[in-house]
Amino acid sequence: MYQILLREDLVPGIHLFKVAAPKVASKAQAGQFVVIRIDEKGERIPLTIADWDRAEGSVTIVFMEVGTTTHRLALLKAGDAINDFIGPLGLPTHIDKFGTVVCVAGGFAVATIMPIARSMRQKGNKVISIMGARNKDLIFWEDELRSVSDQLIVTTDDGSYGRKGLVTEPLKELLEGDEEINRVIAIGPSVMMKYSALTTEPFGVDTIVSLNPIMVDGTGMCGCCRVSVGGETKFACVDGPDFDGHQVDWDLLFARQRSYLDEEKCSFDQWQSQMDSK
């Protein structure tokens, strides 16, 4: 059992847990993830490691409520425990001195891009971060991300805070600008990653995305997470989750993510009716 040491509600529907997992904390690196299972009947789901504290032996995850597991997770409090917390899984993000790196984060991924931006900065890169949210109420960790970036641009879809529009607009402007951009890391909803990659492609700037297909074990044993990159089938959990965004077959990823729409709905409805009757 892995105890939740701290819970923070970042914005409605997005929560942070700090979990006691000393062994995972001792090995965690930017870009890796854990697979969690709440309890005996729960599903195994992957969540990115948003931070870690080796001295304290804790790992931080940030998650968005989407379906049954993430809604059930959101009911837990500090002091509660999660049955399984497996990691660190996947390959760490490739951190190197590239020059100027643009980190683009959509939605909850502000949390997941934090350790990457931090590591890139520590390596001596100039880090420009762009964070986007649907509206002002969904903005979190603006100051945190600014503290690990040389420059920060905030966008909201409706213009209620920062620049109005999508993250791809300032991204395009940066690419068109005078400063040479050496690498782009884009993490967030799949569509946002796809369009970020499409934006950078004409400029020939290496663009790394963190793919989020459905997973089961997260150790390379089932093949559920297979994605197509550069025409080759890869297992995202062991060959990724980071891949070259220009090589990803996005339509395949979107389609495979929808494999269980009916079942996910069925599971959610059943869970909600259980909650209602309580």
Ligand X SMILES: Cc1cc2nc3c(=O)[nH]c(=O)nc-3n(C[C@H](O)[C@H](O)[C@H](O)COP(=O)(O)OP(=O)(O)OC[C@H]3O[C@@H](n4cnc5c(N)ncnc54)[C@H](O)[C@@H]3O)c2cc1C
**Which residue ranges make up the site for ligand FES (CB under 6 A)?**
215-218, 220-225, 235, 237
| C-beta of residue 237 within 8 angstroms of C-beta of residue 219 | yes
Between the alpha carbon of residue 247 and those of residues 103, 191, 202, 231, the distances in Å are 19, 15, 13, 8
> Under the criterion CB under 6 A, does residue 114 sit at the interface with ligand X?
no
In the chain, % helix, strand, coil (3-state, to 5) comes to 30, 30, 35
Peptide bond into 170 cis (omega under 30): no
Residue 273 DSSP SS3: helix
Least distance in angstroms from the C-beta of 121 to ligand FES: 30
Angle between helices 190-200 and 168-176 (to 10 degrees): 20
Least distance in angstroms from the C-beta of 224 to another protein: 5
| C-beta of residue 99 within 8 angstroms of C-beta of residue 65 | no
Is the CB of 53 or the CB of 217 nearer to ligand FES?
217
Helices of type H across 21-90:
22-27, 68-73
Could you say which of 19, 20, 28, 47 contacts ligand X (CB under 6 A)? 47
Determine the distance from the C-alpha atom of residue 126 to the mean position of all C-alpha atoms in its chain, rounded to a whole number: 22
Could you say which of 60, 69, 129, 156 contacts ligand X (CB under 6 A)? 69
> Under the criterion CB under 6 A, does residue 66 sit at the interface with ligand X?
yes
Is the CB of 74 or the CB of 224 nearer to another protein?
224
- The DSSP output letter for 83 is S
The tally of CA atoms less than 13 A away on the side-chain side of residue 71 is 13
Could you say which of 24, 187, 193, 236 contacts another protein (CB under 8 A)? 24
Q: Burial of 53 by CB count in 10 Å (0-12 exposed, 13-18 middle, 19+ buried)?
A: middle
Q: 91 touches which of ligand X, ligand FES, another protein, none (CB within 5 to 8 A by kind)?
A: none
Could you say which of 31, 46, 132, 170 contacts ligand X (CB under 6 A)? 46
Per-position x/- string for 55-94, each x denoting binding to another protein as judged by CB under 8 A, each - no binding: -------------xx-------------xxxxxxx-----
What is the footprint of ligand X within residues 198-227 (CB under 6 A)? 212-215
Q: 159 touches which of another protein, ligand FES, ligand X, none (CB within 5 to 8 A by kind)?
A: none
Q: Which residues bind ligand X (CB under 6 A)?
A: 33, 43, 45-48, 62-64, 66-70, 108, 112, 212-215, 241, 257, 264, 268
Q: Which residues bind another protein (CB under 8 A)?
A: 23-24, 27, 37, 41-44, 68-69, 83-89, 216-217, 219-224, 226, 228, 233, 238, 251-252, 255-256, 258-260, 263-264, 266-267, 270-271
